Amino acid sequence: MAEHIVSSYDNDLQGLRRRITEMGGIAEKMLVDSIAALVRHDKALAQSVIASDSRLDVLQREVEESAILTIARRQPLAVDLRETISAIRVSGDVERIGDLAKNIAKRALAIGEEFQPQKIVLGLQHMSDLVLGQLKDVLDAYTQQDTAKAVDVWKRDGAIDALYTSLFRELLTYMMEDPRNISFCTHLLFCAKNIERIGDHTTNIAETVHYLVLGENLAIDRPKNDRSIDATVNTGA
Amino acid sequence: MAEHIVSSYDNDLQGLRRRITEMGGIAEKMLVDSIAALVRHDKALAQSVIASDSRLDVLQREVEESAILTIARRQPLAVDLRETISAIRVSGDVERIGDLAKNIAKRALAIGEEFQPQKIVLGLQHMSDLVLGQLKDVLDAYTQQDTAKAVDVWKRDGAIDALYTSLFRELLTYMMEDPRNISFCTHLLFCAKNIERIGDHTTNIAETVHYLVLGENLAIDRPKNDRSIDATVNTGA
């Protein structure tokens, strides 16, 4: 009987893990495709990113409901309870990452064929590559319950913030050079912000992995250093 | 003995509720003060908003840890389990609302004394008043477990999005009129976006209240209608 209970519980956990792996794959693809749609002006690709978000929403609901049912039925303790709670947290972050990629895809549609300075496009692409690396690594860290890898992701968030700040300044400069740039630069500003926020969610997941494995939280103060708010630009005044 | 268990459980719940009430009060004050700091160029007030965020972070950790301990120790079922899960969700949303208000306060510091068009300032103030009303109502709905009130908040989110879209267009127009407006208008653009996102979090809380009371989720598709992404402006080209 005890064995039966254990194996039912393991089945529940496997179901949670399977769904989160599927969610991670969808979110990674959404991020890659949304940036590709933006860079290549590919409307069909942008539409497909937007369409795939609903699958993420469904999976998140399933993870949450199934995790709650598991807690109620199996009454897991210690690391088992943490695993169930962590599944809820990670699925929430991955779902938000999908929302942010969807928002980039919507902006790709709105910008359309408008001129995009190559330097900005490359900057966005670079930022997105960095964040994608973070996302892959932190999802691996979650699957493998690898705290060292998670802490490494957590520490790397500062590099993304630095890139965001420099892109932000670049975009303001373009806007000031020519008012015709303002409309699409505003979209690109929000795209950059979305990528930066995806980075924040990978940091959240890293914290969850730390909690899952060690049962304690990482320090509340993050190693982040967003200087874009203080970014000053020569306004030509 | 059974009574003892019940009353321990009730104590746990009361502790969760008390912390969430405190969190709600802090988040409401942070929103009000961040907008006042922006409008009145009040640096000391902006600093106090930034300082109060850490209390929200601590309270959210406490709610989460205490809710998990409650699940592990008391193994609540049905509505009791939903109440514990809901406390985790609501505290997460309120903590994010605090982050967004803190970001507005940081931007208030960055903008400083720079000229702000009266029409924009009034628009931001109006948007923030609407969102504050939503926040108060949804926190009441949570405390009173009042689904009708929660659904009402959920439905009202469209008005905030409409206001955001019109402010967004206004800001783009100011940026195009004079490049010296670009830097602070960009900050105000993010402030408006932050207020809109606070509105989204009140909608999340409304969904949690619905789930808490009725045990089922509101429809996934929200009544929201963010048109700012498609907002087109005469670029003078």
The tens digit of pLDDT for each residue in B187-198 reads: 999 999 999 999
Specify the number of domains making up chain B.
Answer: 1
Rounded mean pLDDT, A79-108: 93
- Identify the CATH number of the domain in which residue B124 sits: 1.20.58.220
Mean pLDDT of B175-180: 92
What pLDDT is stored for residue A145 in this prediction? 95
**For chain A, percent helix, then strand, then coil, each to nearest 5?**
85, 0, 15
Q: How far is CA A212 from CA A71, A73, A147, A169, B179, in A?
A: 15, 20, 9, 38, 50
pLDDT at residue A69, rounded to an integer: 81
| Listed residue (B19, B17, B30) closest to B131, CA to CA | B30
**Candidates B57, B71, B182; nearest CB to A71:** B71
Q: How far apart are CA B110 and CA A106, in angstroms?
A: 29
A236 domain residue, yes or no: no
Residue-number span of the structural domain to which B132 is assigned = 2-230
Q: Is A10 in CB contact (< 8 Å) with chain B?
A: no
Residues of chain A found within 8 Å of residue B61, distances taken between Cβ atoms: 217, 220
What pLDDT is attached to residue B82? 87
Given pLDDT bands bounded at 50, 70 and 90, which one contains residue A219?
Answer: low
Question: Which chain A residue's Cα is nearest to B168?
Answer: A186
Instruction: Check the CA dihedral A95-A97-A103-A106 and report its sign.
Output: negative
Which among A110, A176, A235 is the nearest to B230, CB-wise? A110
CB pair distance less than 8 Å for B72 and A68? no
Note whether B106 contacts A61, CB cutoff 8 Å: no
Helix axes A2-40, A43-74, angle to 10 degrees: 160
Counting one residue from chain A and one from chain B, the pairs whose CB atoms sit within 8 A come to: 87
Confirm whether B237 is domain-assigned: no
A190 vs B contacts (CB less than 8 Å): 193
Q: Which amino acid type is present at position B168?
A: F
Q: Nearest to residue A212, comparing CAs of A83, A109, A24, A106?
A: A83
Identify the residue among B53, B55, B71 best suited for mutation to test binding to A, counting A beta carbons within 10 A and taking the highest. B71
- Chain A CA closest to residue B107: A229
Q: For residue range B8-58, list pLDDT tens digits in order.
A: 888 888 999 999 999 999 999 999 999 999 999 999 999 999 999 999 999
In single-letter form, the type of residue at position A52 comes to S
Q: Find the residue in B nearest to A58 (Cα).
A: B220
ipTM of the complex: 0.82
Our measurement of the distance from residue B81's CA atom to the centroid of its chain's CA atoms, rounded to an integer in Å, reads 25
Give chain A positions within 8 Å (CB) of B186: 172, 175, 186, 189
* Of the partner residues A107, A172, A189, the one whose CB lies closest to the CB of residue B229: A107
3-class DSSP state for residue B1?
coil
Q: Do B229 and A182 touch (CB under 8 A)?
A: no
Radius of gyration of chain A (CA): 20
- CB-based contact B207:B201 (threshold 8 Å): no
A77 touching B, CB under 8 A?
yes
Q: Which two tokens stand for residue B197?
A: 């996102």
Q: How many CB atoms lie within 10 A of CB B39?
A: 15
Q: pLDDT tens digits for A175-209? A: 999 999 999 999 999 999 999 999 999 999 999 99
Res A73: pLDDT: 78
What number is the average pLDDT over the span A46-67?
94
Is B236 within a domain?
A: no
- What residue in B sits closest to A80 (Cα-Cα)? B72
A108, A37 contact by CB (below 8 A): yes
> Under DSSP, is residue B33 helix (H, G, I), strand (E, B) or coil?
helix
Q: Is B233 on the interface with A (CB under 8 A)?
A: yes
Average pLDDT over residues B200-223: 84
Q: Cβ–Cβ of A179/B180 closer than 8 Å?
A: no
Tokens at A203, concatenated: 């940091």
Asked whether the predicted pLDDT for residue B221 surpasses 50, the reply is yes
| pLDDT greater than 90 at residue B72 | no
Let me know if residue A91 belongs to a domain. yes
B148 Cα to chain A: minimum distance (Å): 23
List C-alpha distances in Å: B138 to A184, A204, B79, B100, B205. 36, 26, 19, 18, 7
Question: A235 in a domain, yes or no?
Answer: no
The band of A235, judged by pLDDT with boundaries at 50, 70 and 90, is: very low
B235 belongs to a structural domain: no
- Environment class of A158 (CB within 10 Å of its CB; exposed 0-12, middle 13-18, buried 19+): middle
Measure the CA–CA gap between B52 and B97, rounded to whole angstroms.
12
What's the pLDDT band for A227 if we cut at 50, 70, 90?
low
Task: Say what the pLDDT of residue A74 is.
Answer: 80
Is A120 within 8 Å of A164 (Cβ atoms)?
Answer: no
Give the pair of three-digit tokens for residue B179: 């490049």
d(CA A172, CA A109): 22
CA distance A226 to A121: 21
- Burial class of residue A118 (count of CB atoms within 10 Å of its CB; 0-12, 13-18, 19+): exposed
pLDDT at A233: 45
Contact residues, chain A, for B85 at CB < 8 Å: 68
The full DSSP string for B142-156 is: HHHT-HHHHHHHHHH
pLDDT tens track for B84-112 = 889 999 999 999 999 999 999 999 999 87
Picking from B58, B175, B193, the nearest residue to A182 by CB comes out as: B175
Of the residues A60, A69, A84, A186, the best mutation for testing chain B's interface (the one with the most B CB atoms within 10 Å of its CB) is A186
B113 by DSSP, 3-state: which?
coil
Q: Which residue of B has its CA nearest to A230?
A: B110
- B81 contacts A236? CB cut-off 8 A: no
Flag if A183 and B61 touch (Cβ within 8 Å). Answer: no
